[in-house]
Chain A
């Protein structure tokens, strides 16, 4: 059932993505100030949003694991962090390409860029720590604690961005500005692409969760065989 859902979601994401690419490259005109490169922002911002949503969903599953000790929640949290990390990397790489064209530099130590990088490093640490622990209960318990600490830290880093002057462009999406900053034609494709990336993320999480559960099962069978021997 879960496999069929993952395939269905992946198919829907692919179809939506194909439509969005057609819209982006064949229908929408170049932006007046940025030219053709603005199209990368249709991937840059949704990837950041899906990644950030993912970290907080992982936080929820980590709390659920700690309260219920159900390994499914741990697998979900680990899978979501992995997939979110990929999207955060997409965000950083696409942002760097855009910055090279518009600002003339690949990177600047602006607070928002720095916090995106900090976020990646925190959750990279989470994945490294998971690999360093063999015992599943200990792994789930400690990585849940780290996920909670990591997400709280991300909020503090994120707030510091809003408090201080930065080089990153200000918000343009309607829900941040109250409307009027983005052309509706662009905004429509933007949200469709957000949906496509979100669906792709959910499909990847479902596949990765199954792999995690299988790996844990194999590991427990290996332990059982080791104990019997």
Chain B
């Protein structure tokens, strides 16, 4: 219970900082719009094909823009030795990691909401008819990305070439989650009835989230405490 309370405290601190400076959200949001714009040159944005590749396009945007948020997540604690102070405080490393993941999750969801509205306008896709299910897929996919983002943001925070290391490590690990999220988003955007294999993709999302959240909490001491 204490861990949850502390995690919420960290998330609140990060969100308050972000709302004051808006550095990650502005960068990630602008980056997402630029990528969506660039994709419009890669294929005919009015075609039926958009519904087929829309899921992939959106999740690539989320994953790329997410890396900007994760890079800042722990790096913003480096000036004035804030990270050392947080680690020396009574907070457990697990609550610090979960709190950071929660803040990342909410920031990414905000960015995703902006992105999908712009995607709908730019590519003429109606994404509202199964909004409830789409929100669930976004939430599950984003939690997995955010948790791994927090873990590897912490892991690479003191490394040389931090900005380069994070994508090299995190994207291959995210592949099962991205495949599952892309398949489900594609299904929901094209408003088709789900097949049994679609439920398996949903299971992969849930299993991925549970396994990596548990692993991150178990290894939080190893990742954060030197």
Contacts and interface: CB of A to CB of B under 8 A. Distances in A.
A49 interface: no
Given A118-B175, A138-B158, A148-B215, A156 B169 contact: no
Contact of A152 (B169, B204, B212, B223): B212
Contacts of B200: 163-164
Q: Interface residues of A toward B: which range?
A: 20 to 34
A57 B151 CA distance: 23
Interface string B160-183: 110001001101110110010000
Contacts of A93: none
A125 B172 contact: yes
Contacts of B160: 132
A137 B159 CA distance: 14
Contacts of A124: 168
B85 interface: no
B169 A146 contact: yes
Contact of A125 (B168, B212, B223): B168
B173 A145 contact: no
Contacts of A160: 176, 179, 204
A152 to B, nearest CB: 6
Contact of B215 (A132, A138, A149, A157): A149
A41 interface: no
Contacts of A149: 148, 151, 173, 212, 215, 219
B208 interface: yes
Contacts of B38: none
B89 interface: no
Given A148-B219, A149-B151, A163-B200, A132 B176 contact: no
Contacts of A125: 168-169, 172
A111 to B, nearest CB: 9
Interface string B196-226: 0100100010011001100100010011001
A156 B207 contact: yes
Contact of A132 (B151, B161, B179, B212): B161
Contacts of A210: none
B155 interface: yes
A16 to B, nearest CB: 34
Chain B contact surface mostly: helix
A150 B173 contact: yes
A132 B219 contact: no
Nearest to A120: B172
Interface in A137-160: 137-138, 141-142, 144-146, 148-150, 152-153, 156-157, 160
A5 interface: no
Contact of B219 (A121, A145, A153, A163): A145
Contacts of B159: 129, 132-133
Interface in B66-123: none
A128 B168 contact: yes
B206 to A, nearest CB: 11
Contact of A121 (B155, B172, B223): B172
Contact of B173 (A114, A141, A153): A153
A194 B219 CA distance: 35
Contacts of B212: 149, 152
Contacts of A142: 155, 223
A122 B165 contact: no
A207 B173 CA distance: 29
Interface string B34-64: 0000000000000000000000000000000
B19 to A, nearest CB: 31
A159 to B, nearest CB: 8
Pick the 4 closest A-B CB pairs, nearest first.
Answer: A121-B172, A125-B169, A122-B172, A156-B176
Interface of A: 66, 114, 118, 121-122, 124-125, 128-129, 132-133, 137-138, 141-142, 144-146, 148-150, 152-153, 156-157, 160, 163-164
14 contacts: A122-B172, A125-B169, A128-B165, A129-B159, A132-B159, A132-B165, A141-B222, A141-B226, A144-B222, A149-B219, A150-B173, A156-B204, A156-B208, A157-B176
